[in-house]
Amino acid sequence: MTELPARRLLLVHAHPDDESINNGATMARYAAEGAHVTLVTCTLGERGEVIPPELRHLTGAALGMHRRGELAAAVRALGVGDARLLGGAGRYGDSGMMGLPDNEDRGCFWQADVDEAAGHLAEVILEVRPQVLVTYDDNGGYGHPDHIQAHRVAMRAVDLAAERGHRIAKVYWNRVPRSVAEAAFERLQDELPALPFDKSASVADVPGVVGDERITTAVEGTAHAAAKAAAMRAHVTQIDVAEPYFALSNDLAQPLFTTEYYELVRGTAESGESDLFAGLGLEETS
């Protein structure tokens, strides 16, 4: 096996597009700096709502395959060469929104055995041996069942991998500081008349917003804003981008953040961190 770079980052997401919205600038930055960036996506998003009218015929498995292609284009735009589907393509299906009958489908990710799914992820961890893992908080950022399950699986896989000989030094959850979100939405209100969106979302619609005091790490990705926007545009069924804003299928405008924020939940954070690998004594490039 080819020797991997000194710095190795693993991100665990629920559906295609989550990686670009939440961590696109981070992924592009670390890939450009020579780190090995691995993305594991847990479902193909087969139950997502489709924005373009000409693509609304896509549903179920056909939509999943289309979104797999969008995911491949997105990670290329970010410069990431290691993108995987948990347990292989189609292993776990999209669970739909919380409280819908879709949640009861025995093949959906929400119904998956956590230890079994975490076992698949642990195999990736043991192969890549990342020092850093990024995923959602225990509410999945906003309560989506697949996001909650991705959190559970990721955190369990960290423990399983440690039992088998590889301890991940730092585990982060995706976050947005409330002050940053509020300021961005204030700017959005001023700029909304010039945008192709009729209405604005709200701070409550942004996953992972917390009080500023919980933020341990801010990854500056402004230099990679174009890569993040390109990756988001690749998810054409799900995202409409008008930089520096975007909308999902609800057509509500929200900010496209190029500085991305995190809360360290395992490991030791340095004061005012700006690097997910801070304190690990690793070279920046390899």
Tokens of 225: 């804003």
In terms of Cα–Cα distance, which of 252, 250, 232, 241 is closest to 192? 252
Question: 162-166: which pairs have CB atoms within 8 A and are 24 or more residues apart?
Answer: 164/122, 164/126, 165/126, 166/125, 166/126, 166/129
Residue 14 confidence (pLDDT): 98
| Residue 36 marked in a binding site | no
In a domain, 126, yes or no: yes
Residue ranges in the chain whose pLDDT is less than 50? 285-286
In a domain, 283, yes or no: no
In a domain, 1, yes or no: no
CATH number at residue 174: 3.40.50.10320
Determine the structural domain holding residue 126 and report its residue range. Answer: 8-263
Q: Tell me: the pLDDT tens digits for 232-270?
A: 999 999 999 999 999 999 999 999 999 999 999 999 988
Tokens of 54: 């000409």
In a domain, 279, yes or no: no
- Cis omega (within 30 of 0) for bond into 207: no
In a domain, 271, yes or no: no
In a domain, 181, yes or no: yes
Residue 269 confidence (pLDDT): 86
In a domain, 124, yes or no: yes
Interatomic CA distance for residues 237 and 55, integer angstroms: 7
In a domain, 85, yes or no: yes
| Residue 66 marked in a binding site | no
Interatomic CA distance for residues 47 and 218, integer angstroms: 32
Q: What's the structural domain count of the chain?
A: 1
CA–CA distance from 66 to each of 61, 101, 175 (Å)?
Answer: 9, 24, 29
| Residue 18 marked in a binding site | yes
Residue 282 confidence (pLDDT): 87
